[in-house]
Amino acid sequence: MVHRVFNAWDGLNGEIGKQIDAQAPCPISGEHASIVLCDRDRYGYPLRTVISQATGLVYTDPRADDDSIDDFYRTTYRRFYKSASKPKWKHTARNAYIAGQRVEMIKTLAAKGAAVLDIGTGSGELLYVGRRNGLDMQGIEVDQAYAQFGRRSYGVKIINESLRNAVLPEQHFDIVTIFHVLEHLSDPQAALAKVSAILKPGGYVLIEVPNVDSLDAQFHQKWHPGHLFHFNCSTLSALATVCGLETLSVHTCQRRNVVGATLTKPFLPTKATWQALVADNFENTLQLLQCQAKQNWHTNWYERLGRARQKLKRNLCEWTISLSEGNRRKLVDKVTRNQAT
């Protein structure tokens, strides 16, 4: 059952394909004109998802208030969806592997001693691996149990607060990372504007979000109730521009299910406009999603079978290495050491 915080829609103005004025404006354009894409989440519960006619950004409308969303992620999210108040051992192994990859990415942009802030740091593996590589790492994690776990297990610096409420020094960080967090936030425009404010001129932002254009998931599986915004390459770049950031690169992964971007805070204000970045994006995204909505369950069955095999293989590897080590810090060390060889 979906948590009550996502039951914000009263069921009105939910006819699929209908043009409406969304309650919340598009955070890129500030306009309300939109088309209803879907009236249910992936579990079949009421959730209205719209696409902005000005930009092609897809988002949940209406949404719960900011405090309710923050409270949900502070106390409930991981227990509700992952049935755990601290990461499972296999998740520590997975997080360690991903942290190793991300630290290598960070090192291509900054020298040792660089101040790095990881927003939504979870249980802190990235902070630990980054610190071990000579970076001045700090994290923000709204979940109380996970923040405490990271501090206790790895001795890392974690601010236990939402990004919205966290007090952070302006123009302080060389790099800010925000991996698979922006889509959960109630106001991504305010979030990226705050990131821009705390970043040094010439600093970088590394960001990843799910890709709404992905062909990897069926249409009705895209609408996770906790994902309030659904970006693609165009809308992520446009939002960055609105917040005073410049997109150096934007890309999708092999199966196009994730959008990754490297942003920078220019020394002088950028002259780019969001309108140029989302030209034709509404029409293209709407057409793609409408085509996906008509596909049946066996479309791309071969690719889905391949993903299932990969997931099984990954789980077996994670459990195998997890069973070989009974200390979290030593497990992270072992995974990253094996990764480097």
Domains of the chain in sequence order: 87-285+299-340 (3.40.50.150)
For 125-159, the pLDDT digits (tens) are 999 999 999 999 999 999 999 999 999 999 999 99
**CA nearest to 225, candidates 34, 36, 35, 42:** 42
Q: Given pLDDT bands bounded at 50, 70 and 90, which one contains residue 103?
A: very high
For 156-195, the pLDDT digits (tens) are 999 999 999 999 999 999 999 999 999 999 999 999 999 9
Q: Given pLDDT bands bounded at 50, 70 and 90, which one contains residue 323?
A: confident
Tokens of 330: 């030593």
pLDDT of residue 301: 67
Please say if the pLDDT value at position 324 is more than 90: no
pLDDT of residue 84: 75
Tokens of 237: 């770049």
Please say if the pLDDT value at position 17 is more than 90: yes
HSE (CB half, 13 Å, CA atoms) of 4?
A: 2
Please say if the pLDDT value at position 315 is more than 90: no
What is residue 115's DSSP assignment?
E
What span, in angstroms and rounded, lies between the C-alpha atoms of 179 and 184? 11
Q: How far is CA 96 from CA 176, 202, 203, 332, in A?
A: 19, 29, 25, 5
Q: Given pLDDT bands bounded at 50, 70 and 90, which one contains residue 299?
A: low
Please say if the pLDDT value at position 302 is more than 70: no
Q: Given pLDDT bands bounded at 50, 70 and 90, which one contains residue 322?
A: confident
Strand partners for 259: 209, 252
Determine contact, residues 146/123, Cβ cutoff 8 Å.
yes
Please say if the pLDDT value at position 1 is more than 60: no
Determine contact, residues 162/73, Cβ cutoff 8 Å.
yes
For 217-240, the pLDDT digits (tens) are 789 999 999 999 999 999 999 999
Please say if the pLDDT value at position 3 is more than 60: yes
Q: What is the mean pLDDT of the chain?
A: 92
Average pLDDT for 45-71: 95
Please say if the pLDDT value at position 339 is more than 70: yes
Return the amino acid letter for 67. Answer: D
HSE (CB half, 13 Å, CA atoms) of 47?
A: 27
Whole-structure pTM value: 0.93
E strand intervals along 53-193: 58-60, 115-119, 136-140, 158-159, 173-179
> Could you tell me which residue, 28 or 326, shows the higher pLDDT?
28
Distance of CA 206 to the CA centre of its chain: 11
Q: What percent of the chain has pLDDT over 70?
A: 96
pLDDT of residue 338: 84
pLDDT of residue 2: 58
What span, in angstroms and rounded, lies between the C-alpha atoms of 151 and 124? 8
What span, in angstroms and rounded, lies between the C-alpha atoms of 311 and 331? 21
Determine contact, residues 226/186, Cβ cutoff 8 Å.
no
- Provide the 10 A C-beta neighbour count for residue 135: 23
Q: Given pLDDT bands bounded at 50, 70 and 90, which one contains residue 77?
A: confident
Helix (H) or strand (E) holding 48: strand 46-52
Is the bond leading into 62 cis (omega within 30 degrees of zero)?
A: yes
For 241-278, the pLDDT digits (tens) are 999 999 999 999 766 899 999 999 999 887 889 999 99
Categorise residue 92: left if φ over 0, alpha if ψ from -120 to 50, beta otherwise: alpha
